[in-house]
Structure 1
């Protein structure tokens, strides 16, 4: 029994070291991602859309599952008149996360600009229903927007 004790201790120490290494790695990755994201936001606010695009793409290359960054990237692409790419990104977020009302809202905006009011209304209705559960004030704003669209088409 005494012979297995040192082996057990070494094994436990290795597990702790591996855990510390993994925590350090993920902390570093989070810090780098956060820095790129913040730089992208700052560039977006300064209307440096190509710079913001580059930073948001860096974030996605590190963390490919971040839908918030995809939405911002879609906004940046839209501002650069890269409509097809922006549309694809918003649709991708909807496919990945069908309960994300922001994606439907942004897609509706693009569709309105492309003179596709029916498709835009469908996306706005979906956004409104999703906002209703968690953000009723936003749902009211979307409802007002829908009323304006319906009034124009009447």
Structure 2
């Protein structure tokens, strides 16, 4: 009977030990991701874009769902002239969070710089609609003025 008790205890301990190891791994991963994110934001604010880029890439490798990191990384690579990569990052944010107006705005800026007013207009309209739904009328109004300018440009061509 004592042998059966020990076997039962062993079978009970193994799942608990496995669960604790899994919990430990995810805790470590979350802490590591959080630390890298905070470092990236700090470096970004200090205008150390190279360091921020490395930290943000680490965050993405650990947690691929962080939209803020993708937006900031997109800004960094865009400023480095890597417009295609920035475009992809902004589009990833739109795909994962279609209600994020900042991704549409950043993408619209790229299209404005590339002299693609129709694509810019489409993204600005989407951002404006989202901002109105999110009760941010001041930001939506600023976009409205920009849309008027782009529409005039399109009509003049």
TM-score band by shorter chain is: 0.7 to 0.9
Counterparts of 1:91-110 in structure 2, within 5 Å, are 91-110=91-110
Quote the offset at 1:101 in angstroms.
Answer: 2.4
Counterpart of 1:35 in structure 2 is 35
Structure 2 unmatched ranges of 5 or more: 153-157
RMSD: 2.3
CA distance in 2, matches of 1:118, 1:129: 17
| Cα pair 1:49 1:80 within 8 Å, conserved | no
Deviation track 1:10-60 (CA, whole Å, cap 9, x = no partner) reads 222222211221111111111111111111111111222122111111111
Counterpart of 2:155 in structure 1 is none
Counterparts of 1:86-125 in structure 2, within 5 Å, are 86-125=86-125
Alignment size in residue pairs: 152
Secondary structure in 2 aligned to 1:115? coil
Structure 1 unmatched ranges of 5 or more: none
Aligned mate of 2:139, from 130, 141, 144? 141
| Cα pair 1:87 1:110 within 8 Å, conserved | yes
Secondary structure in 2 aligned to 1:98? coil
The 3 A distance-change label for structure 1 pair 111 and 152 is closer
Quote the offset at 1:112 in angstroms.
Answer: 1.9
Quote the offset at 1:71 in angstroms.
Answer: 1.4
Secondary structure in 2 aligned to 1:136? coil
CA distance in 2, matches of 1:8, 1:40: 49
Structure 1 residue ranges, 4+ long, deviating more than 4 angstroms after superposition:
1-5
CA distance in 1, matches of 2:8, 2:129: 56
CA distance in 1, matches of 2:129, 2:57: 30
CA distance in 2, matches of 1:129, 1:77: 27
| Cα pair 1:121 1:146 within 8 Å, conserved | no
CA distance in 2, matches of 1:44, 1:121: 29
Structure 1-normalised TM-score?
Answer: 0.83
